[in-house]
Structure 1
Amino acid sequence: MLVVVGVLATALTVCSIVRAARNAPVTGGQIPWMIVVEAALVVQAGVIGVLQARGHPVADAVLLWGYVVTSLLMLPVAFGWAFVERTRWSSVVLAIAAAVVVVLQVRLWQLWQ
């Protein structure tokens, strides 16, 4: 699941970087990508919750859940910002938020090992 979310968030990052390079704001075409990534993050949080409930050991459960919650909040906050900011910077904000989700996926993988 971590790889799937990472790949989807990377695709959203690249798409947003291309839009920013073209001096274009976030458009309706990027919203379905955000929804797909967010849905994958929700499923991932559920899977992590079930595995934790079954006793899967994790080095630091508080840090793990901090990363999970932060991942869940990044794209909705970026979407809100992009909805208000109708310049190329909305694409930059979305690219940064999606890149942060990718980094958090790497950190989740490291904690889960």
Structure 2
Amino acid sequence: MLVLTWCIIGASLVLAGWAGIRGLRDRPVIFIQLIGSALVVLAIIAQMVVTGIALGSGEHTVDTVLLWGYLITALVLLPAAGWWAVLDRSRWSSVVLVVAAFTIAVLQLRIWQIWVIG
């Protein structure tokens, strides 16, 4: 699970940087960025499955509810940003994607901390 967490952190930071460049150039989100967001969401779903299996097989964390709260929040953020990008075709869609992708990276760091401490 920890390797997957770091992969999600890296992918979300790349996505945030890419969207940041487009935002600075006054450009909206493009379709390939939405595909990249979907890949990050699929990785988060895989992480949730791995976490569920690990917790079901006897692993434990300091706070399971907090861990699942972070996982569910991470799962919801990028689809919400994608929806915003479809509705708003201005540079602000890129800014929203930057904020969402960076937030995913921070949430994943917290997930890693909770898993390692627990």
TM range (shorter): over 0.9
Q: Which amino acid in structure 2 is aligned with residue 99 of structure 1?
A: F
1:36 shift after superposition: 1.0
May I ask how many residue pairs the two structures share in their alignment? Answer: 113
The structural deviation recorded for 1:92 is: 0.2
The corresponding residue for 1:9 is 12
User: Deviation per CA, 1:47-106, whole angstroms, max 9, x where unpaired?
Assistant: 011001111110000000000000000000000111101100000000100000000000
Q: Matched residues in 2 for 1:17 and 1:50: separation?
A: 36
| 1:62 aligned to which of 58, 65, 85 | 65
TM-score, normalised with respect to structure 1 = 0.98
Find the partner of 1:31 among 29, 34, 42. 34
Find the partner of 1:92 among 90, 95, 108: 95
Q: Which runs of 5+ in 1 are unaligned?
A: none
State the 1:28 CA deviation.
1.1
Alpha-carbon separation, structure 2, partners of 1:70 and 1:105: 10
1:74 matched to which residue of 2? 77
Structure 2 residue identity aligned to 1:55? G
Higher mean C-alpha displacement, 22-31 vs 89-98:
22-31
Three-state SS of the structure 2 residue aligned to 1:30 is helix
Distance apart, 1:41 and its partner CA: 0.6
Paired with 1:26 and 1:37, the residues of 2 have a C-alpha distance of 16
In 1, the alpha carbon distance for the partners of 2:78 and 2:32 equals 15
Q: Percent identity?
A: 38
Q: Which structure 1 residue ranges, 4+ long, deviate > 2 Å from structure 2? A: none
Q: Does 1:102 align with 2:105?
A: yes
CA RMSD of aligned residues (A): 0.6
